[in-house]
């Protein structure tokens, strides 16, 4: 019994220690005056993190939109409300699936890449050599990746939503024959800027911050061995995915919380 | 200003229960090449990181060019490091940058020099290490010896006052080793620098070092010129200088009695 208590205590202390180090990484990355090369570094990272994630986002979005339209149509047609499929798909995407699925894909594609890259730089002394040259690696390496994540993911979510709605329209309107006016008109009438699009974007910005933070910290805090890199990369994907899902539940509760 | 660029007094540092330094004293004179030697695992690389401010000691004074390193703020540390260079055992080249860009990196970050001048300076540094012709290669295309020479060119890009070399000769073929030995000696003289070399290669290190320190069990056990250390009264120092496999530094890592271990219960 005592042994388990001791292990629990040790785990709690390790966790608090890691949280403290993660907070310092965030603070020192964000602190400081922007420098001449910062924009160039940021653009490079937006390309690495954002542009190179486009293919997986577009393919997944199209597939999810098409499936949602198929499922929605099947259920709604029973009650003769198949024209509402456009509105249903849009609401599900804008409020929930867009930010959440983009977050999960982003964690798997970009988050893991960020962690692996930083962990490898640490294992090969590149971060140490930067420090010894008087260059702060948190400013040079961590900060551009954090900002690029926070810029790229909301844009990827917008693209995800647009492509998924396009996929739903292709299946619903062009294939299953839902009336085009009803499909788009229902969406136009039912979707609200703030309630649906605005709040969905707030979610995605928060997800982006959390995923980028986890990814950068796990790389920076990794053990500089091949096994350490592997563990850090896995942790990024697992922690980010769990964080996105848990945060989504809490945000939904706070934003749309009139559940009785 | 003292004649010593680095002064370390009463340094104590431990990792968990293991004591790495237990009251270590050491001084590195300006303009000289000082070598730091000792058995594996005695904390030589750790000492370089303490001098560079990457690790904070438990107690003791670590003064570099008049600055007490452990008490410096983060910003002051980064400022101090602009006068330092460190050659890592792994070379630590940036793998996404070419040889040219690796050497240009500190110049681009720390100076406002125009591109033409940076180009000239990079070519001069690369020429000094004999790799001007390799400027367009990527780090993955370099041999181990070439990587270390590029890293050396990058280290001297800002003409530091002081360079720390962490195992510069490890894994090098005899030709590359000879090149590095002459480069370290030549750069130290021509650029009026101070050098601290951590190495296991007694012959090469002794050939260029003005003074040597041998550390073991967290303390300096011998210091002086290479000739003085070869005739040192301490058997441990002589064992190290002569490379004897067993002696005061045991061949075996501490363990229980061998027979008890083998014949005992699993």
Give the residue extent of every domain in chain B.
1-83+161-170+191-266
Q: Give the C-alpha separation, B69 to B51, whole Å.
A: 7
Range A121-137 burial, b when 16+ CB lie within 10 A, else e:
bbbbbbbbbbbbbbbbb
Nearest CA in chain B to A137: B78
| pLDDT of res. B140 | 94
pLDDT in tens, chain A (260 residues): 888 999 999 999 999 999 999 999 988 888 766 677 788 999 999 999 999 999 999 999 999 999 999 999 999 988 888 888 999 999 999 999 999 999 999 999 999 999 999 999 999 999 999 999 989 999 999 999 999 999 999 999 999 999 999 999 999 999 998 999 999 999 999 999 999 999 999 999 999 999 999 999 999 999 999 999 999 999 999 999 999 999 999 999 999 877 65
Burial of A249 (0-12, 13-18, 19+ CB in 10 A): exposed
Class of domain B1-83+161-170+191-266: alpha beta
* Beta-sheet strands, E only, within B17-155: 18-29, 33-37, 59-64, 67-68, 84-87
pLDDT at position B39 is 79
Chain B neighbors of A126, CB-CB under 8 A: 92-95
For residue B212, the cross-strand partners are B35, B224
Predicted pLDDT of residue A73: 93
pLDDT in tens, chain B (266 residues): 558 999 999 999 998 888 999 999 999 999 999 999 887 888 889 999 999 999 999 999 999 999 999 999 988 998 999 889 999 988 999 999 999 999 999 999 999 999 999 999 999 999 988 899 999 999 999 988 899 999 999 999 998 989 999 988 887 788 878 888 888 998 888 888 999 999 888 888 888 899 999 988 888 888 888 888 888 888 878 777 777 776 776 667 778 888 888 887 65
Asked if A129 reaches chain B (Cβ–Cβ under 8 Å), the answer is yes
| Cα distance between residue A206 and residue B129, in whole Å | 49
Size of interface A-B (CB pairs under 8 A): 58
B54 touches chain A (CB under 8 A): yes
Q: Are B34 and B215 in contact (CB under 8 A)?
A: no
Q: How many CA atoms lie within 13 A of A160 on its CB side?
A: 32
What's the N-to-C CA distance of chain B in angstroms?
A: 62
Identify the pLDDT of residue B120.
95
Alpha-carbon span B209 to B199, nearest angstrom: 11
Give the closest residue to B62 by CA, choosing from B49, B75, B74.
Answer: B49
Q: Are the CB atoms for B200 and B37 separated by under 8 Å? A: yes
Compute the half-sphere exposure of residue A17: CA atoms within 13 Å on the CB side of its CA. Answer: 7
> What local confidence, expressed as pLDDT, does residue A51 receive?
96
pLDDT of residue B170: 81
Report the candidate in B80, B78, B73, B59 with the shortest Cα–Cα distance to residue B5.
Answer: B80
Residue of A nearest to B97 (CA): A126
DSSP-based three-state secondary structure for B28: strand
On whether any CB of chain B is under 8 Å from the CB of A225, the answer is: no
Residues 6+ apart with CB under 8 A from A7: none
Across the interface, do A131 and B54 touch by the CB < 8 Å criterion? yes
Q: Are strands B33-37 and B194-198 parallel, antiparallel or unpaired?
A: parallel
Q: To 10 degrees, the CA torsion angle through B107, B113, B117, B123?
A: 0
From A46, A54, A26, A35, select the one nearest A145 (Cα to Cα): A46
Question: What confidence tens digit (pLDDT) does each residue in B114-130 have?
Answer: 999 999 999 999 998 88
CA angle A103, A104, A110 (to 5 degrees): 80
Are residues B92 and A134, on separate chains, in Cβ contact within 8 Å?
Answer: no
Which residue is it, tokens 């001048």? Answer: B117
Q: Do A132 and B54 make contact, defined as CB atoms within 8 angstroms?
A: yes
> Which pLDDT value is given to residue A32?
67
Q: Are residues A134 and B79, on separate chains, in Cβ contact within 8 Å?
A: yes
CB B143 within 8 A of CB B177: no
Q: Looking at residue B2, what is its pLDDT?
A: 59
Give the model's pLDDT for residue A33. Answer: 65
């Amino acid at each position: 019994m005592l042994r388990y208590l001791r292990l629990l205590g040790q785990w709690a202390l390790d966790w608090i220690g890691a949280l403290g180090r993660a907070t310092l990484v965030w603070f020192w990355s964000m602190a400081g005056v922007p420098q001449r090369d910062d924009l160039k570094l940021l653009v490079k990272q937006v390309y690495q993190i954002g542009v190179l994630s486009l293919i997986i986002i577009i393919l997944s979005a199209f597939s999810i939109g098409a499936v949602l339209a198929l499922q929605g149509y099947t259920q709604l047609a029973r009650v003769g409300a198949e024209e509402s499929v456009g509105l249903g798909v849009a609401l599900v995407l804008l409020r929930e699936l867009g930010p959440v699925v983009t977050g999960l894909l982003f964690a798997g594609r970009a988050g893991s890449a960020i962690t692996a890259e930083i962990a490898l730089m640490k294992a090969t002394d590149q971060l140490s050599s930067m420090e010894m040259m008087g260059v702060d690696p948190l400013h040079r390496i961590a900060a551009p990746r954090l900002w690029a994540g926070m810029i790229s993911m909301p844009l990827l979510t917008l693209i995800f939503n647009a492509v998924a709605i396009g996929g739903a329209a292709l299946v619903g309107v062009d294939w299953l024959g839902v009336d085009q006016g009803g499909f788009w008109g229902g969406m136009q009438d039912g979707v609200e800027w703030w309630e649906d699009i605005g709040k969905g974007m707030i979610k995605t910005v928060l997800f982006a911050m959390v995923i980028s933070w986890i990814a950068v910290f796990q790389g920076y805090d990794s053990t500089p061995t091949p096994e350490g890199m592997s563990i850090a990369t896995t942790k990024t994907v697992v922690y980010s995915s769990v964080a996105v899902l848990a945060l989504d539940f809490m945000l939904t509760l706070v934003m749309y919380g009139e559940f009785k | 200003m003292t004649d010593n660029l680095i002064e370390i007094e009463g340094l104590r540092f431990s990792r968990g229960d293991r004591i790495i330094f237990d009251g270590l004293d050491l001084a590195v004179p300006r303009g000289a090449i000082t070598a730091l030697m000792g058995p594996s695992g005695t904390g030589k690389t750790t000492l370089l990181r303490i001098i560079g401010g990457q690790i904070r000691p438990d107690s003791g004074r670590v003064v570099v060019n008049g600055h007490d390193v452990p008490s410096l703020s983060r910003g002051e540390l980064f400022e101090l490091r602009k006068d330092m260079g460190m050659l890592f055992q792994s070379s630590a080249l940036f793998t996404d940058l070419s040889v040219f860009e690796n050497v240009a990196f500190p110049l681009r970050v720390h100076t406002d020099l125009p591109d033409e001048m940076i180009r000239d300076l990079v070519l001069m540094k690369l020429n000094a290490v004999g790799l001007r012709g390799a400027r367009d290669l990527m780090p993955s295309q370099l041999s181990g010896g070439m990587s270390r020479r590029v890293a050396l060119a990058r280290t001297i890009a800002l003409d530091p006052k002081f360079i720390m070399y962490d195992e510069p000769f490890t894994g090098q073929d005899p030709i590359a080793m000879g090149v590095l030995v002459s480069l370290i000696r030549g750069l130290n003289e021509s650029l009026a620098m101070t050098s601290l070399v951590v190495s296991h290669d007694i012959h090469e290190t002794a050939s260029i070092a003005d003074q040597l320190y041998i550390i073991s069990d967290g303390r300096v056990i011998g210091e002086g010129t290479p000739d003085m250390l070869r005739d040192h009264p301490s058997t441990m120092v002589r064992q190290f200088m002569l490379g004897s496999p067993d002696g005061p530094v045991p061949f075996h890592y501490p363990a229980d009695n061998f027979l008890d271990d083998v014949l005992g219960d699993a």
